[in-house]
A = this chain, B = another copy of it.
Amino acid sequence: MTKFTRGNLVSQREVYQGRIIDLVVDDIEVNGFETVREVVRHPGGVVVLAEVEPDRIPFVRQHRYPLNKDLLELPAGKLDSGEPPEISAARELEEETGYQARSIRHICSFYSSPGFCDELLHFYYTDDVSKSEMQTEIDEEIELEFYSLDESLAMIDSGEILDGKTITAILWLDRNRRKLE
Protein backbone atom coordinates (compact mmCIF):
# COMPACT_ATOMS: atom_id res chain seq x y z
CA MET A 1 0.00 0.00 0.00
CA THR A 2 1.16 3.48 -0.80
CA LYS A 3 -0.24 6.67 0.64
CA PHE A 4 0.03 8.69 -2.55
CA THR A 5 -1.66 8.26 -5.92
CA ARG A 6 0.26 6.01 -8.26
CA GLY A 7 -1.99 7.01 -11.17
CA ASN A 8 -3.88 4.81 -13.61
CA LEU A 9 -1.97 2.96 -16.30
CA VAL A 10 -3.21 4.00 -19.76
CA SER A 11 -0.69 2.07 -21.85
CA GLN A 12 2.68 0.39 -21.46
CA ARG A 13 5.56 0.00 -23.91
CA GLU A 14 8.45 -2.41 -23.38
CA VAL A 15 11.00 -0.31 -25.23
CA TYR A 16 14.18 -2.32 -24.60
CA GLN A 17 15.36 -5.55 -23.02
CA GLY A 18 19.10 -5.61 -22.63
CA ARG A 19 22.15 -7.10 -20.99
CA ILE A 20 22.03 -5.09 -17.75
CA ILE A 21 18.90 -2.96 -17.99
CA ASP A 22 15.40 -2.98 -19.48
CA LEU A 23 13.38 0.13 -20.32
CA VAL A 24 9.60 0.32 -19.91
CA VAL A 25 7.61 3.47 -20.71
CA ASP A 26 4.16 3.88 -19.16
CA ASP A 27 1.51 6.42 -20.09
CA ILE A 28 -0.47 7.11 -16.94
CA GLU A 29 -3.30 9.33 -15.80
CA VAL A 30 -2.82 11.17 -12.48
CA ASN A 31 -5.42 13.54 -11.03
CA GLY A 32 -7.02 13.97 -14.46
CA PHE A 33 -3.77 14.68 -16.29
CA GLU A 34 -1.95 12.34 -18.68
CA THR A 35 1.77 11.99 -18.19
CA VAL A 36 4.66 9.61 -18.84
CA ARG A 37 6.70 7.43 -16.50
CA GLU A 38 10.03 6.15 -17.83
CA VAL A 39 11.27 3.16 -15.83
CA VAL A 40 14.72 1.61 -16.12
CA ARG A 41 14.67 -1.89 -14.66
CA HIS A 42 17.92 -3.09 -13.10
CA PRO A 43 18.64 -6.34 -11.20
CA GLY A 44 20.20 -4.46 -8.26
CA GLY A 45 23.76 -4.50 -7.08
CA VAL A 46 26.23 -4.61 -4.24
CA VAL A 47 29.04 -2.42 -2.94
CA VAL A 48 31.65 -3.72 -0.50
CA LEU A 49 33.76 -1.79 1.97
CA ALA A 50 36.50 -4.12 3.19
CA GLU A 51 39.28 -3.42 5.64
CA VAL A 52 41.75 -6.05 4.51
CA GLU A 53 44.13 -4.87 7.22
CA PRO A 54 43.31 -2.26 9.86
CA ASP A 55 42.57 1.01 8.00
CA ARG A 56 43.54 -0.41 4.59
CA ILE A 57 40.63 -0.33 2.12
CA PRO A 58 40.78 -1.74 -1.43
CA PHE A 59 39.39 0.45 -4.23
CA VAL A 60 39.12 -0.29 -7.94
CA ARG A 61 39.87 2.23 -10.66
CA GLN A 62 38.11 1.48 -13.93
CA HIS A 63 36.72 3.05 -17.06
CA ARG A 64 33.04 3.99 -16.88
CA TYR A 65 31.76 4.00 -20.42
CA PRO A 66 28.67 6.21 -19.88
CA LEU A 67 30.89 9.00 -18.49
CA ASN A 68 33.94 8.42 -20.71
CA LYS A 69 35.93 8.72 -17.47
CA ASP A 70 37.99 6.50 -15.18
CA LEU A 71 36.41 6.41 -11.71
CA LEU A 72 37.76 5.31 -8.33
CA GLU A 73 35.13 3.17 -6.58
CA LEU A 74 34.76 0.54 -3.93
CA PRO A 75 34.40 -3.02 -5.27
CA ALA A 76 30.88 -3.40 -6.64
CA GLY A 77 28.80 -5.19 -9.19
CA LYS A 78 25.33 -6.20 -10.21
CA LEU A 79 23.42 -9.13 -8.80
CA ASP A 80 23.51 -12.26 -10.88
CA SER A 81 20.07 -13.75 -11.48
CA GLY A 82 18.73 -15.38 -8.32
CA GLU A 83 21.94 -14.74 -6.37
CA PRO A 84 21.51 -13.58 -2.75
CA PRO A 85 23.16 -10.14 -2.29
CA GLU A 86 25.50 -11.44 0.41
CA ILE A 87 26.94 -14.07 -1.97
CA SER A 88 27.22 -11.46 -4.70
CA ALA A 89 29.10 -9.10 -2.36
CA ALA A 90 31.63 -11.78 -1.41
CA ARG A 91 32.03 -12.79 -5.07
CA GLU A 92 32.64 -9.23 -6.31
CA LEU A 93 35.12 -8.56 -3.51
CA GLU A 94 37.11 -11.67 -4.38
CA GLU A 95 36.96 -11.15 -8.17
CA GLU A 96 38.00 -7.52 -8.02
CA THR A 97 40.49 -7.47 -5.14
CA GLY A 98 41.68 -11.03 -4.53
CA TYR A 99 40.43 -11.03 -0.94
CA GLN A 100 37.96 -13.65 0.25
CA ALA A 101 35.49 -12.63 2.98
CA ARG A 102 35.23 -15.17 5.80
CA SER A 103 32.22 -13.19 7.04
CA ILE A 104 30.43 -10.13 5.72
CA ARG A 105 27.89 -7.77 7.28
CA HIS A 106 24.94 -6.03 5.62
CA ILE A 107 24.93 -2.34 6.57
CA CYS A 108 22.05 -0.86 4.57
CA SER A 109 20.39 -0.86 1.16
CA PHE A 110 19.43 2.17 -0.90
CA TYR A 111 18.00 3.17 -4.28
CA SER A 112 20.56 4.84 -6.55
CA SER A 113 18.10 6.89 -8.61
CA PRO A 114 14.48 6.26 -7.57
CA GLY A 115 13.00 8.86 -9.93
CA PHE A 116 13.47 6.69 -13.02
CA CYS A 117 15.21 3.44 -11.98
CA ASP A 118 14.50 0.56 -9.59
CA GLU A 119 18.17 -0.27 -8.90
CA LEU A 120 18.60 -1.19 -5.23
CA LEU A 121 22.18 -1.24 -3.93
CA HIS A 122 23.13 -3.43 -0.99
CA PHE A 123 26.06 -2.15 1.05
CA TYR A 124 28.27 -4.68 2.87
CA TYR A 125 31.21 -4.33 5.24
CA THR A 126 33.89 -6.80 6.25
CA ASP A 127 37.18 -6.76 8.14
CA ASP A 128 37.39 -10.55 8.16
CA VAL A 129 39.20 -11.62 4.97
CA SER A 130 41.89 -13.97 3.68
CA LYS A 131 44.10 -13.55 0.60
CA SER A 132 42.81 -15.26 -2.57
CA GLU A 133 43.10 -14.56 -6.33
CA MET A 134 41.81 -11.69 -8.51
CA GLN A 135 39.53 -12.93 -11.31
CA THR A 136 38.36 -10.07 -13.48
CA GLU A 137 36.01 -10.71 -16.37
CA ILE A 138 37.32 -10.65 -19.93
CA ASP A 139 35.99 -7.18 -20.81
CA GLU A 140 36.78 -5.76 -17.36
CA GLU A 141 40.04 -3.87 -17.00
CA ILE A 142 40.59 -2.61 -13.46
CA GLU A 143 43.36 -1.40 -11.20
CA LEU A 144 43.49 -2.13 -7.49
CA GLU A 145 44.50 0.65 -5.08
CA PHE A 146 44.51 0.85 -1.28
CA TYR A 147 43.67 3.84 0.90
CA SER A 148 43.13 4.63 4.57
CA LEU A 149 39.86 6.11 5.83
CA ASP A 150 41.44 9.57 6.16
CA GLU A 151 42.83 9.39 2.62
CA SER A 152 39.40 8.30 1.35
CA LEU A 153 37.67 11.21 3.12
CA ALA A 154 40.23 13.63 1.66
CA MET A 155 39.47 12.26 -1.84
CA ILE A 156 35.75 12.89 -1.28
CA ASP A 157 36.49 16.49 -0.26
CA SER A 158 38.82 17.04 -3.24
CA GLY A 159 36.39 15.56 -5.80
CA GLU A 160 38.71 12.65 -6.68
CA ILE A 161 35.96 10.22 -5.61
CA LEU A 162 32.85 10.87 -7.71
CA ASP A 163 30.87 7.66 -7.20
CA GLY A 164 27.77 8.02 -5.02
CA LYS A 165 27.74 4.55 -3.43
CA THR A 166 31.45 4.85 -2.58
CA ILE A 167 30.92 8.22 -0.88
CA THR A 168 28.00 6.79 1.12
CA ALA A 169 30.04 3.81 2.30
CA ILE A 170 33.11 5.85 3.30
CA LEU A 171 30.99 8.39 5.22
CA TRP A 172 29.29 5.47 7.00
CA LEU A 173 32.67 4.02 8.05
CA ASP A 174 33.74 7.43 9.35
CA ARG A 175 30.56 7.72 11.43
CA ASN A 176 30.86 4.16 12.69
CA ARG A 177 34.52 4.63 13.64
CA ARG A 178 33.66 7.77 15.60
CA LYS A 179 30.79 5.98 17.37
CA LEU A 180 33.19 3.27 18.53
CA GLU A 181 35.78 5.75 19.84
Interface of chain A: mostly helix, strand, loop or mixed: mixed
* Contact B168 A5, beta carbon cutoff 8 Å: no
* Other-chain contact of A115, B61, B78, B156, B175 (Cβ < 8 Å): B78
A5 to chain B, nearest CB (A): 6
The contact size tier of chain A is: 35 or more
Report the separation of the CA atoms of residues A33 and B143 in the bound assembly, to the nearest whole angstrom.
20
Other 14 A-B pairs with CB < 8 A, given A16-B25, A19-B38, A39-B66: A4-B62, A4-B63, A4-B142, A7-B65, A16-B23, A23-B23, A31-B138, A37-B65, A71-B111, A78-B115, A108-B157, A111-B162, A113-B113, A113-B164
